[in-house]
Amino acid sequence: MLVSLYRFKNKFTRKLIYRYLVKYDGGEMWSKKLRQIYKKYYNIEIGIGTYGYNFGGFPAGTQIGKYCSLASYITVINVNHTMTTITTHPYLFNPVVGFIKSDFRTKTKLSIGNDVWIGQNTIILPKVSKIGNGAIIGAGSVVTKNVEPYSIVAGNPANLIGYRFDRETIMKLEEIKWWDFELDYIKNNLNKFYDVSTFIAEIKNE
C-alpha cells in the first residue's frame, strides 16, 4: 500500500511515507519496503543492512551492496560535459535546453560492493564504475577511478592509502562472503566478527 502511494510525486506525502517506514518497518538498515521504493521509483538497488543513503546523491542504475555505511552528501556524477565537441555547453547534449531530443552521452552505472564505507562529502566521478567489497573512502575524497576490494583511499584525487588486511586475508573474505549469511546467524555469532583471523578460522571449521 505505502509503496504504491509513493507514486504520487508529492514531497510531503513521500516524506511521511519515508518517516513511517523508518520508524515502523525496521529503519534504513532493514526496511524491505524502503528498498522496494528505491528500486521501483529511483532504479537504485540497495542491499540489506546498508544505511545512510539519500535519493539525491545516487543516480538511476546504481547498485549498492549489503551492510554499507554511507555518510551524508555523497555525490555520484555518472556523465561529463562533452570535451571533444566545439563547445562544452549542454545545448549539444541536454534535451532540457530545447535544442535536441535525446542525450547521446553514455552514462556510467556505478556498482558499490558489500561492507563499503564512504565518508562525508565524497564525490565519485564518471570513470568510476566499481567500488569493491570492504573498501573505505575517506571523507571529502574525489574518486576518479575504480576502488579495489578492502582498499582504503582518500584525497583529491583519491589515492591508495593502504589495505584493511593482507592479500591472503582479503582473498579468504571474498571467498567466504559473510554478507550473504543469514541475519540470525550474524546476530547469534557476533563474537566471531571482532577478530578477522579467528573469524576465518572458525568459519572454515564449521
Mean pLDDT for the chain? 93
Over range 114-139, report the average pLDDT: 97
Q: CA nearest 147: which of 169, 165, 125, 167?
A: 125
Structure confidence by residue, pLDDT tens digits, 1-17: 888 888 888 888 888 88
Which of 1-15, 78-92, 167-181, 185-199 shows the lowest per-residue confidence on average (mean pLDDT)? Answer: 1-15
- Residue reference for cell 567489497: 133
Catalytic residues: 81
- How sure is the predictor about 56, in pLDDT bands with cuts at 50, 70 and 90? low
* Residues 6 or more apart whose Cβ sits within 8 Å of residue 19: none
Q: E strands of 6-137, at which residues?
A: 45-46, 63-64, 69-70, 75-76, 111-112, 117-118, 123-124, 130-131, 136-137
For 25-44, write each residue's pLDDT tens digit.
888 899 999 999 999 999 99
Q: Is the pLDDT of residue 53 over 80?
A: no
Percent of the chain with pLDDT over 90: 77
Distance CA 25, CA 47 (A): 15
Q: What is the pLDDT of residue 167?
A: 97
pTM listed for this prediction:
0.92
pLDDT tens profile 129-167: 999 999 999 999 999 999 999 999 999 999 999 999 999
Task: Give the range among 13-17, 66-70, 89-93 with minimum mean pLDDT.
Answer: 13-17
Report residue 55's pLDDT band, with 50, 70 and 90 as the boundaries.
Answer: low
